[in-house]
Every structure is written in C-alpha cells, then in structure tokens.
Amino acid sequence: MFKVARSLYALAYCGIYTYQDWQKWADKLILDHSELDIWIYDVSLATDFNALSKAIGERMEQEIWSEYPSYTITELILGGYYYMYKNNYITLYELLEKCGRVSDGGDVSEDCEYFYELMNEIDKNPEMEKSYNLQKELNDYLEPLCQGIVSRKKQIESCSYEDIII
C-alpha cells in the first residue's frame, strides 16, 4: 500500500508541495469518485501546512501500522531539501541549516551535529562551499533520499483512490 499521507506530509514540509499541489491532487480524486474517505476532502480544503497536517494526521497513524516504511518521514524531508538545493531553490548553507534542524530529534542515520558542524566549517572557510569533497559527501548521503521523495511525488501524481485504500 502506498503511504500517501506520509508522502504528502514530507513533500509539504520541505516545500516541494504547496497547498495548490495537494488541493489539485485531492480535487482530482473528488472529481473521479463519488465517495471518498473524509480526510481527502479535508486535504482539498487545507490552505496551509498546519491544516494539511490536521487533515492527514489520523491517516498517517494508520499508515504507520500497515507496514514498515522504506523511508522515514525525516529521511524523505531531508531528500526534499536536497531536491530543493539541487534545483536552486535554497543555498547550500540553507540546506545544511534545514537538514540540521529536521535531524534534531529525527530518526536518521546522521544526527543534527553533522550538518551543524559543516555549517561551522563553512563559516570558518567560505570557499569550502565549492569543495568537490563536500559536494560528493552530501550527494552520497542525500541523493538516495532525494530519489525517495521524487519517487513519492511521482506516485502521488499518478495514484488512484484504489492505490491508497487501507
């Protein structure tokens, strides 16, 4: 079963999805089906991240128990931030700051100190931002997570209601 609520949450949290994106997704399902779970209607009406979180909260809890996720929500968010960085929506420094913040208390292999230490090193030596080794290190860690969030985005955009029934 596709974990659509967890994916919507991660896409919205990291900024890849805006309210127009999740509303468009929900509205398509609403137009294609006469009866849906109430949370989908709530997603259609959600105009900010807090409203989306409230709309999908119960569904996220149901998804947790359906099977072990291939990626945690934190990993998907990290992948989303890397996607935003690769597509020039955020700077390297912003990437590190955002990754550090979401990793603090998250469930990822690298803890927040990894990202904060890289920020401190860049503060000391701004030329480090252009370092091939730094770029490769970040790519090796974050690219698989980025591929995970991009895959989830494609799944959301192509899924039908039958794909998300628990």
Total-model pTM:
0.89
Please answer whether residues 29 and 40 qualify as being in contact, where contact means their C-beta atoms are separated by less than 8 angstroms: yes
Is residue 13 scored above 70 in pLDDT? yes
The pLDDT tens digits of the residues spanning 119-144 come to 999 999 999 999 999 999 999 999 99
Total Cβ atoms within 10 A of residue 124:
8
Neighbours of 70 (CB within 10 A): 11
**Residue 51 CA: distances (Å) to CA of 22, 36, 128, 149:** 11, 19, 40, 21
